[in-house]
Amino acid sequence: MKVLLTGATGLLGSHVAHQLHARGYALRIFTRPGSNTETLAGLPFEWIKGSLLDKNTLQLAVEGCDAVIHAAANTAQWPTGLAHYWADNVQATINLLEAARQAGARRFVYVSTANTIGHGSLARPGVEWNDFRLYHYNSAYINSKYLAEKYVLEQFQKHGFPAVVVNPTFMLGGLDARLSSGRLILHALQSQVHWAPPGGKNFIHVRDAAFGVCAALEKGRVGERYLLAGENMTYARFFALLGAVVEEHKLQIPLPQWLILAAGWVGQLWGRLSGRTALMNRATSRLMCLGNYYSGQKAREELGLPQTAVSEAVKDALHWFEAQGMIGSNVVKSRGD
């Protein structure tokens, strides 16, 4: 069985590619020209280079493929206007799905984000049937993923197209060549003090999330969404966990919500005036104050989603950063291994 995978050089996509190979699939990847494939070293694959906006190239990419996994996306948090994300996240998904439909693909797995599903509390985490709640947060990334996800599911509802959506939470682990989620770990290691926002996240080992993507390909119910979720924890708890892993307990200072929101306003204004990427904007500051907590029960029951401890995900990320020379050696102490 041949699978076309987009986003194969990203954090999740790299792990999906390795797991597809381990499961015996023939792999074809679709990337932009010049993409760095170092995280795919050792894997046999066909390589199609081009743009997801080029319908002719997409027809070539999907030809002969039994299934498509669409993990590519623009995940930047700046600029904040939806127009900056429409082509990469919405139009590209429409183009790829239409190409897959015309080619007769038997399964289409769309990698969305947990933020398109209403979050819950630590006591009652968000589940798949929760409505989207974050549109007014004005995160163009999240809103664009919601619109693309809605389109994919509508193709099943209206036309019976065999699509499945997976909604991963915050992924941690190795092969983070583009420094996505790993920025949180590196920033915490480099800071003298841990400044803890009042919110929190659901964290999952990226290897578990990749398992969920592959399981959705094989046995996910078409027309369904699956939260690929692991462990819910506040930022304060996460920083404490990181300190335990590296055996370096730094002073932790809670940040008040008003201060974070004010910083978001300032960052938004500075970005607009300077035209440069702001470290924080209104959307990111509001999300930092939010309890983004989710349940992975449905994926555990239907897909067999593993639940690796977040501490192991942190260790794997740190070991990979060490191997790349991005941090000093022996950051993870012997007791942490």
Q: What is the pLDDT of residues 5-38, one digit of tens each?
A: 999 999 999 999 999 999 999 999 999 999 999 9
2-178+202-232+293-308 maps to CATH 3.65.10.10: no
- 332 pLDDT above the threshold of 80: no
Say if residues 79 and 140 touch (Cβ distance below 8 Å).
Answer: yes
Copy the structure tokens of residue 167: 């909604």
| pLDDT tens for each residue of 172-185 | 999 999 889 999 99
Q: How far apart are CA 53 and CA 62, in angstroms?
A: 14
- The CA-based angle 198-199-202, given to 5 degrees, is 150
pLDDT greater than 90 at residue 128: yes
Least confident of 87-91, 207-211, 277-281: 277-281
Task: Look up residue 218 and give its two tokens.
Answer: 């094989």
The predicted-structure confidence for 54-82, as pLDDT tens digits, reads as follows: 999 999 999 999 999 999 999 987 677 89
Residue 333 has pLDDT above 70, yes or no: no
Q: What is the pLDDT of residue 336?
A: 40
Give 216 or 329, the one with higher predicted confidence: 216
In this prediction, residues 143-169 reach a mean pLDDT of 98
What's the rounded Cα separation, in Å, for the pair 295 and 220? 17
- Model pLDDT for residues 298-322, shown as the tens digit of each residue: 999 999 999 999 999 999 999 999 9
Average pLDDT, the chain: 94
d(CA 108, CA 93): 11
Q: Report the pLDDT value the prediction gives residue 280, as an integer from 0 to 100.
A: 83
Region 278-291 average pLDDT: 88
pLDDT of residue 158 exceeding 50? yes
Residue of higher predicted confidence among 336 and 88: 88
Q: What is the pLDDT of residue 80?
A: 72
Helix/strand/coil (H, E, C) string of the chain? CEEEEECCCCHHHHHHHHHHHHCCCEEEEEECCCCCCHHHCCCCCEEEECCCCCHHHHHHHHCCCCEEEECCCCCCCCCCCCHHHHHHHHHHHHHHHHHHHHHCCCEEEEECCHHHCCCECCCCCECCCCCCCCHHHCCHHHHHHHHHHHHHHHHHHHHCCCEEEEEECEEECCCCCCCCCHHHHHHHHHCCEEEECCCEEEEEEHHHHHHHHHHHHHHCCCCCEEEECCEEEEHHHHHHHHHHHHCCCCEEEECCHHHHHHHHHHHHHHHHHHCCCCCCCHHHHHHHCCECEECCHHHHHHHCCCCCCHHHHHHHHHHHHHHCCCCCCCCCCCCCC
Among 137-141, 241-245, 267-271, which is the least confidently predicted range?
267-271
- Kindly list the domain boundaries of the chain, sorted by start residue: 2-178+202-232+293-308
Q: 194 vs 122, 304, 314, CA distance in Å?
A: 22, 35, 16
What integer pLDDT is reported at residue 337 of this predicted model? Answer: 41
